[in-house]
Amino acid sequence: KGKSAKVQTASSGLLYKLVTSGLLISHPNNRMRFIHPVLGGYLAGRAMTAFNAEDALLRQPNWSGKFLAMRYFAAHGNAAHLVDSMLAIEDKILHRPVLTAARWLRDAPREAAWRGKIMAGLARLLLSEENPRSLRAQAMAAFALCGDPGAATFFRQSLQSLSFELIALAALGSGAIQDTKAVELLASTISGPSPSARRASCLALVSIGTPSALEAVARALLQGDDDTRRSAAEALANDPKDGYEMLRDGTTLPDILVRRAVVYGLARVDTPWAREALETIQVKDDQWIVRT
């Protein structure tokens, strides 16, 4: 690419068009600003791909424009040096460099060689038992939002871990990306010893929403212990179609524990029919453990 990039200067006519289209807003004293900071970040990042501007970006103080420009630089240019510099920054408490770089994955080219470095950093962050759950959850969310097919495989492998906390996070990740291949592993997790993993698996299965996934949740509602039944019912409240129908049917079943669990699910459904059903149960159910 030995050619020098040509920079187009903005003319008054172009600025006028940007203002009339709503992309720019005019202020007194010939000042203008973008209607949304993402527009400025996109244009800055796209323009910087024509120059060796990574070091200039890194030297700036942390602010939204800097991070937006980095994101769109990575989407349109070779961000290998930028990624290496970010990952070299030491932050043992919040791990902000790797989590910031992870936001670039969604827009970046799939063939970019530097993607693997960020994915590896996220994996280390998520797998480390020394990190707090909130930090590991951020890494899980970054995996789920990155759009990389390797995330589904990583979550399925993590579902077979011996760490209950990792299993719960992997279950939520599998549900977030609606990985149908994880249904069998999630269904087996519902019968495991960890309450948090069971709750996460119920939520994930309802999010996936296939017949086999919903069947596993229905089985948990009918056959699980008290905590599992409640988790299943509360998860079904996230599905306005089949989940609502299961909760309606559950109010009429003879099993006291099912009806009691269904109450928790109905409490999460903010609709008139759900409130009416709860009021009916409160008055007419023949078991005090369900009414209360």
Within 8 A by CB and 6+ apart from 150, the residues are 119
Within 8 A by CB and 6+ apart from 95, the residues are 125, 131, 135
Closest by CA position to 127, among listed 89, 94, 155? 155
Residue 54 token pair: 């990574």
Given this model, what pLDDT does residue 11 score?
A: 59
Q: What is the C-alpha separation between 221 and 261, in angstroms, rounded?
A: 8
Q: Is the dihedral of CA 264, 176, 130, 104 positive or negative?
A: negative
pLDDT digits (tens, 9 = 90+) for 222-232: 999 999 999 99
**Residue in this structure with the two tokens 């800055």, named with its chain if needed:** 44
> Angle at CA 278, nearest 5°, toward 276 and 282?
120
Given this model, what pLDDT does residue 15 score?
A: 83
Given this model, what pLDDT does residue 228 score?
A: 97
Q: What is the C-alpha separation between 29 and 42, in angstroms, rounded?
A: 25
pLDDT digits (tens, 9 = 90+) for 235-258: 999 999 999 999 999 999 999 999
Given this model, what pLDDT does residue 3 score?
A: 44
Whether 248 and 259 have beta carbons less than 8 Å apart is answered as: no
Given this model, what pLDDT does residue 30 score?
A: 82
Specify burial of residue 254 (Cβ count, 10 A radius: 0-12, 13-18, 19+): exposed
- C-alpha pair distances (Å), 213 with each of 190, 207, 242, 247, 257: 11, 9, 11, 16, 22
Q: What is the C-alpha separation between 213 and 87, in angstroms, rounded?
A: 38
pLDDT per residue of the chain (292 residues) written in tens, 0 to 9 = 444 445 445 557 888 888 888 888 888 888 888 889 998 899 899 999 998 889 999 999 999 999 999 999 999 999 999 999 999 999 999 999 999 999 999 999 999 999 999 999 999 999 999 999 999 999 999 999 998 989 999 999 999 999 999 999 999 999 999 999 999 999 999 999 999 999 999 999 999 999 999 999 999 999 999 999 999 999 999 999 999 999 999 999 999 999 999 999 999 999 999 999 999 999 999 999 999 9
